[in-house]
Amino acid sequence: MTRVAAIQLETEVGDVVANLAACERLADEAAAAGAEWILLPEFFTTGVAFVPELAGAALPPDGEATQLLLDLARRHQAVVGGSFLCRDPDGHARNAFFLATPDGLAGRHDKDLPTMWENCFYVGGTDDGLLTVNGHDAGVALCWELMRSQTARRLRGKVDVVVGGSCWWSVPAWPPRGVMHRLEDSNARTAANVAPAFARLVGAPVAHAAHSGRIECRMPGLPFTYRGHYQGGALVCDATGRVLARRTADQGSGVAIADVELARSAPLDPVPERYWLHDRGPMGALTWSYQRAHGRRWYARNCAGRPALQLPGRARAAA
């Protein structure tokens, strides 16, 4: 059995230094509880919302975020991973997940498709998300990658553990409030269930880190303000989808930690013959389409080709 921890971060959107410092404290807490694998959320340096300043918040691949992962791995003799906005030498930003070990980086996965307003801040990747560390084959899946059958197919039967996280936001409470509340109830159920359902599709345990806290921003291309929250739900589940540890959104920052066998098994559920594994709902389908189109134009005008954010060395220690 291996002790695995999934971090839940109460995010300060766009505040890279504060989020790095918070992640370091939470990872130290997980290690003190005996964690051998520690997962930070998707976008652990920034969170994500339609906040234009995020266009300048992408760190270089060898910058402070990667250094934090490496420092934690060496300090605690653990495997440590998480994703962040990463500005590569080609001038493009990507949602890059790095997995670190005490001996160095085990590899990287770039999320395949940005979700909704994420299109404003990065472009997708094409790798298979398969990494090998300490004799285990690990598959990486980030947020709505867990929603798509193509992700299940690329990892099914090939991995001993699925690692990753999400930055999943809520449906806003706009009028008609009764309808929007029902849509949010459905959205929250989906967010809570995607990781356990994915374990059954792939045949491997899942460690899923998450964000919590309130967020507010403009709606891309619309004269409305979004007010909502991150769904939380950091968890560790086994290959049958049985949740061994979970942290809900109202519990805020903290650690979900459990002992789990890192081993593949026969998948329990078939991968359905459709693109989406779960119903996005009408709000999710609408925002996926219009924000994707808006975001690609916004990215080309405001984000592509910018320099990487350079932080002073060990900037997180001063937070």
pLDDT for 282 equals 87
Q: Which residues contact 211 (CB under 8 A, 6 or more apart)?
A: 8, 9, 10, 11, 41, 42, 43, 47, 166, 167, 168, 230, 232
Residue 11 scores a pLDDT above 80: yes
Domains of the chain: 2-318 (3.60.110.10)
Percentage above 90 pLDDT, the chain: 93
pLDDT (0 to 100) of residue 317: 47
Contact 39, 79 (CB under 8 A): no
C-alpha–C-alpha distance, residues 257 and 239, integer Å? 16
260 vs 245: CA distance, rounded Å = 10
Higher confidence at residue 314 or residue 226? 226
Between CA 243 and CA 253 the distance in angstroms is 19
The per-residue pLDDT for 313 is 66
Burial class (CB in 10 A: 0-12, 13-18, 19+), 58: buried
159 φ/ψ sector (left φ>0, alpha ψ -120 to 50, else beta): beta
Alpha helices (H) along 6-63 = 16-32
